[in-house]
Amino acid sequence: MKKMLKRKPLRLLVICAVICAFITTSAVSAHTVNAAARKTSVKLNYTSLVLIKGKAFNLKATVKGTSRKPSWSSSRSSVAAVNRNGRITARNYGTATISARVNGVTARCRVTVVANYKYLYKKFLTSNSRNIKWFYMLNVNKSGVPELITTNSGGGITSYNVYTIRGTRVVKAGSYSARGINSSRPFFYYVSRHKCLYASGWTNTIGGTWGNLYGMSGYKLVHRYHAREAHYPKSVYYTGRTDSSARKVSKASYVKFCNTYFKGYSRYSMKKNTASIRNQAFR
């Protein structure tokens, strides 16, 4: 019994020594990992990509602070797979996140896999060449596939149709109108910082003008901002999301609103819907 009592303190000392050694080793390891992570940086050459189904793309990682190579992974390999060298293969429609990880530091790229929109738009324009005279392809919301903007002619009032890709089909997102557009070669306006198409015009008899911004929400074209003014029989000003929901404001508020949303637009001349121009635009 006395021998057993003498052994117990010894065992306790051994156990404590083992635990202390484990804690010390873990702390050193954690410190080493944290130090390595602080020194390591990972940067990808793209943070977002749009790939056509069936296509491949080489994503490149720039690693600093270590000689280790990144480990690659995909959040949805069924949509976009990635190998150990960063080569992405677009497998199916949808969105996946590709990650490159080194020493606990991760860089990510959002990959959207879409249908061959160039082929679909070209086919659509060819089959509708009698009804669509002018077109332009622009990524309105700077995400996913570009939209196809079309019109039949310019002139006093120009009507535009906006199309997008849903699955493997060309679908109409919406329409809008503008005034004062060149009839010989129509054009449209786009405000990049708000990701919106810009339309403006005037109202006869009351000396008024108006402006609208239209953006994409999913597969739909939606009204984002509206402003209008009239000067007969007296000057009035309105701002808001749409013409029906706009509220009367002061001239100062109106000017500020217009400067915020309607300035800094770019002008895009549309392309004629002929076989030769389609072949050039969608090659």
pLDDT digits (tens, 9 = 90+) for 253-276: 999 999 999 999 999 999 999 999
Q: Residue holding tokens 């790229």? A: 109
pLDDT digits (tens, 9 = 90+) for 72-131: 999 999 999 999 999 999 999 899 999 999 999 999 999 989 889 999 999 999 999 999
Q: Where are the domains of the chain?
A: 41-114, 117-281
Indicate whether 4 pLDDT > 50: no
Per-residue confidence (pLDDT) for residue 188, from 0 to 100: 96
CA dihedral 107→110→116→117, nearest 10 degrees, is: -130
Going by pLDDT thresholds of 50, 70 and 90, the confidence category of residue 237 is: very high
What's the angle, vertex CA 248, arms to CA 204 and CA 261, rounded to 5? 80
Question: Do 227 and 242 form a contact (C-beta atoms < 8 A)?
Answer: no
Sign of the C-alpha dihedral, residues 30, 31, 32, 36?
positive
Amino acid at 187: F
Report d(CA 123, CA 49) in Å as an integer: 24
Exposed/middle/buried for residue 7 (C-beta within 10 Å: 0-12, 13-18, 19+): exposed
pTM, entire model: 0.73
What's the angle, vertex CA 13, arms to CA 12 and CA 18, rounded to 5? 95
Domain 41-114 CATH (choose: 2.60.40.1080, 3.40.50.300, 3.90.1660.10, 3.30.559.10): 2.60.40.1080
268: Cβ contacts below 8 Å, ≥ 6 apart: 136, 138, 187, 188, 189, 190
Per-residue confidence (pLDDT) for residue 82, from 0 to 100: 98
Amino acid at 121: Y
